[in-house]
Structure 1
Amino acid sequence: MRDLAGGFGHLLAGQRWVFRNGRWLGFGLLPGLLALVLYAGALIGLGYGADDLTAWATPFADDWSAPWLGLLRGFLTALVFCLGLFVAVITFTAVTLLIGQPFYESLSEQVDRSVGGEAPESGLPLARELWISARDSVKVLVRVLLYGTLLFALGFVPVVGQTVIPAIGFCVSGFFLTEELTAVALQRREVELKDRLALLRGRRAMVLGFGVPLVLAFLVPLVAVFLMPGAVAGATLMVRELRGEDEERAEGDGADGGGAEGPADGTARQERPGQHGDPAPQQPSPYTGPYAAGPRYPAPQQNPYAQ
């Protein structure tokens, strides 16, 4: 439960960050608006064509009597539209990030600087970063389609298909949505897709706490557009926790600032006499011993000042 709440906390923290830095929110709306127009047109087309698609896929039911024909095809039409909506929610983030790649990368770097003082950079040309982002998004989309097809088939199971399967679908959507958002920060850290997925699976509850509420919010028209910049900022904050970067930074600050700790490079600290308030060792008085032998004094002479 702690990780679940922590993921939701990162989502809220990201939204607060962009609202405190209003110019990042303003620029972030443009890629989302463009992607929204594209997806709205695609979903409208799917809504008009879903009936014909289900009729084409179920020729065996042409001779069924009412109301069974209408119930079957109506149910399948709803499932087709839900599947399209499921894919749209997942791919919307990937397409929006691809359109706004330079902006969202700069936003993520700024979040890193604001909380950590430094921001990792991939050092790759923009064209190369776009290619990597598109390639990884296609790989994620293939996984999403496999899960979506399986969940679509399980949707025909009575009771379970109308209760448990939709809940699992939201969890799957939340996981892969979070993967797309964290990819902005992790790609700058040169973390490959396989390692990104392993990192997210290690803290699955936190990932779901971040992604599932976002999936539900994205179902509301226009909300996804306004939440995208904050979602990228929150994903960057979550990446820092998943990789333990904030803890390492805190330990480094403690080592540098502690009075009893050694220097950061591990070398021993040289102390000067009297550095911690102890009296410096006194040299012996030149007046308490015999004169040293020399050319004029072949043998030690008695010091007249010695007591």
Structure 2
Amino acid sequence: MSGTGRQRPALGAAPVLSGPAYLLRGFGMWRRRPGLMVLGMVPALLVLAVLVAVFVVLVLQVGDLVGWATPFLDDTGEVARSAVRVSLAVVVVVGFVVLAAATFVALTLLVGEPFYDRIWRETERMLGGEVPDADVGLLRGIRDGAVLLGLGAATAVGMVVLGLLPVVGTIAAGVAGFGFSAWLLAGELLTRPLEARGLTAADRSELVRGRRGPVLGLGMSVQACFLVPLGAVVVMPAAVVGATMLARDLLDASAARRT
């Protein structure tokens, strides 16, 4: 896989299903630069260790937390009280997972900036053409990470509110949270290769308009890997590669439509 002689997933047909194909192609970088990809796992491992520690504490304390937050249920029947509090506990845990997923990508890209910059540049060289050199900068990473954290927190709060509906609310909150967090992390992964070409946030939104399927598909496939033990660590370098490839194809498709 070198130069411009690369097979691209079709952006027009089965667009959501084309997203995971980019992640699979990203894993192909392990054959070309295994040492570089291993380095890309280091920041992911550090951030994951911190988030897992917080998650364990939350799971151990979530029962007391939900009980403290719902004193108005103390006078209700035991069955109803248990059903609502268990549902809320599940939603709180899932909400944290959504927040952690969004935070994980932002923090990992920020902590691992030197490693992922090298992976991104190697991917750009492999795909052919000049490597864009617009300054992205540390402040951009901090700013985008803060925005992503805020969106993730808002999503987690929304899931808790939605989860107030027993059973149905819990399921709906889980599905909605998975989809929205997948979209957030895909957007964060695409930010680097697009900003390096001088695209603003408005430009990026315009670029993905009408091509949301591949972006969501990539995010969902990366998100699914997060559910596997240590999957987040292994997938991050490949996700950076896959997102760079997707960004190039989105730009090419946009240019083709204008001609």
**2-structure distance, mates of 1:167, 1:55:** 25
Over alpha carbons, which structure has the higher Rg?
Answer: 1
Give the alignment's Cα RMSD to 1 decimal.
2.2
Decide which of 210, 214, 218 is 2:222's aligned counterpart. 214
**2-structure distance, mates of 1:171, 1:104:** 25
- 2:86 corresponds to 1:78: no
TM-score w.r.t. structure 2 length?
0.86
Decide which of 119, 122, 126 is 2:134's aligned counterpart. 122
- 2:213 corresponds to 1:205: yes
Conservation of the 8 A alpha-carbon contact between 2:87 and 2:164: no
Cα offset for 1:165? 4.0
- 2:198 corresponds to 1:190: yes
Conservation of the 8 A alpha-carbon contact between 1:240 and 1:246: no
Decide which of 75, 98, 104 is 1:63's aligned counterpart. 75
- 2:35 corresponds to 1:23: yes
**2-structure distance, mates of 1:146, 1:201:** 23
Shift of the 225–107 alpha-carbon distance from structure 1 to 2, 3 Å rule, reads same
Aligned match of 1:101: 113
CA shift digits 1:79-134 (9 cap, x unpaired) = 1111011111111111110100111012111101111132101246xxxx111111
Which has more helix, going by share of residues?
2
Unaligned runs of at least 5 residues, structure 1: 252-307
Cα offset for 1:187? 2.5
1:265-276 matched pairs, under 5 angstroms:
none
Conservation of the 8 A alpha-carbon contact between 1:35 and 1:96: yes
Deviates more, 1:42-51 or 1:233-242: 42-51
Partner-residue secondary structure (3-state), 2:78:
coil
**2-structure distance, mates of 1:163, 1:203:** 27
**2-structure distance, mates of 1:184, 1:110:** 14
Conservation of the 8 A alpha-carbon contact between 1:136 and 1:193: no
Partner-residue secondary structure (3-state), 1:67:
helix
Structure of higher RCO (CA pairs closer than 8 Å, 6+ residues apart): 2
Aligned residues: 245
Decide which of 158, 172, 176 is 1:168's aligned counterpart. 176
Unaligned runs of at least 5 residues, structure 2: 1-12
The residue type paired with residue 159 of structure 2 is: L
1:113-262 matched pairs, under 5 angstroms:
113-123=125-135, 129-157=137-165, 160-244=168-252
Aligned match of 2:123: 111
Cα offset for 1:11? 1.1
**1-structure distance, mates of 2:171, 2:97:** 18
The residue type paired with residue 214 of structure 2 is: M
Aligned match of 1:281: none
**1-structure distance, mates of 2:59, 2:246:** 36
Conservation of the 8 A alpha-carbon contact between 1:108 and 1:185: yes
- 2:49 corresponds to 1:46: no
Cα offset for 1:73? 1.7
The residue type paired with residue 196 of structure 2 is: R
**1-structure distance, mates of 2:156, 2:235:** 24
TM-score w.r.t. structure 1 length?
0.73
